[in-house]
Amino acid sequence: DILMTQSPSSLSASVGDRVSISCRASQSISGFLNWYQQKPGKAPKLLIYATSNLNSGVPSRFSGSGSGTDFILTISSLQREDFATYFCQQSYKTPLTFGQGTKVEIK
């Protein structure tokens, strides 16, 4: 199985801050890396697919980058509605695997 490791596990930030979350795969995943946002009691929401492609309706303050085994989700200016948990997921091969999540909290 491909192990996905996110860092940090949690972070505290203020509205307007620039935030970055890292995701590392245990082997190359050819750019098939997706990012999700999950709020309490809700299903995950796809933010970015294939490393850097913004899903329809997702604000442009979200961006993704990376290659090989190392990927980053960046929120350029954190908004109140962005406080949530973020997961990365590889869709290179099955079993599909997720990172353990990064909780973004209000400072």
Partner 1 sequence: QVQLQESGPGLVKPSQTLSLSCAVSGGSISSSGYYWGWIRQPPGKGLEWIGYIHSSGSTDYNPSLTSRANISMDTSKNQLSLKLTSVTAADTGTYYCARRDGYNFGYRYWGQGTLLTVSS
Q: Per CB under 8 A, does 102 bind partner 1?
A: no
Q: Per CB under 8 A, does 57 bind partner 1?
A: no
Q: Per CB under 8 A, does 16 bind partner 1?
A: no
Q: Per CB under 8 A, does 37 bind partner 1?
A: no
Q: Per CB under 8 A, does 100 bind partner 1?
A: yes
Query: Strand (E) positions, the chain?
Result: 4-7, 10-13, 19-25, 33-38, 45-49, 53-54, 62-67, 70-75, 85-90, 97-98, 102-106
Site for partner 1 in 80-99 (CB under 8 A): 87, 89, 91-92, 94-99
Token pair 């294939």: residue: 50
Q: Per CB under 8 A, does 42 bind partner 1?
A: yes
Q: Per CB under 8 A, does 49 bind partner 1?
A: yes
Of the pair 75, 90, the CB lying nearest partner 1 is at 90
Please state, in angstroms and as integers, the Cα–Cα distance from residue 58 to each residue in 29, 35, 62, 63, 91, following that order: 24, 12, 7, 10, 20
Cα 100 from Cα 88, distance rounded (Å)? 8
Residues that bind partner 1 in the complex, under the rule CB under 8 A: 1, 32, 34, 36, 42-46, 48-50, 55, 87, 89, 91-92, 94-101
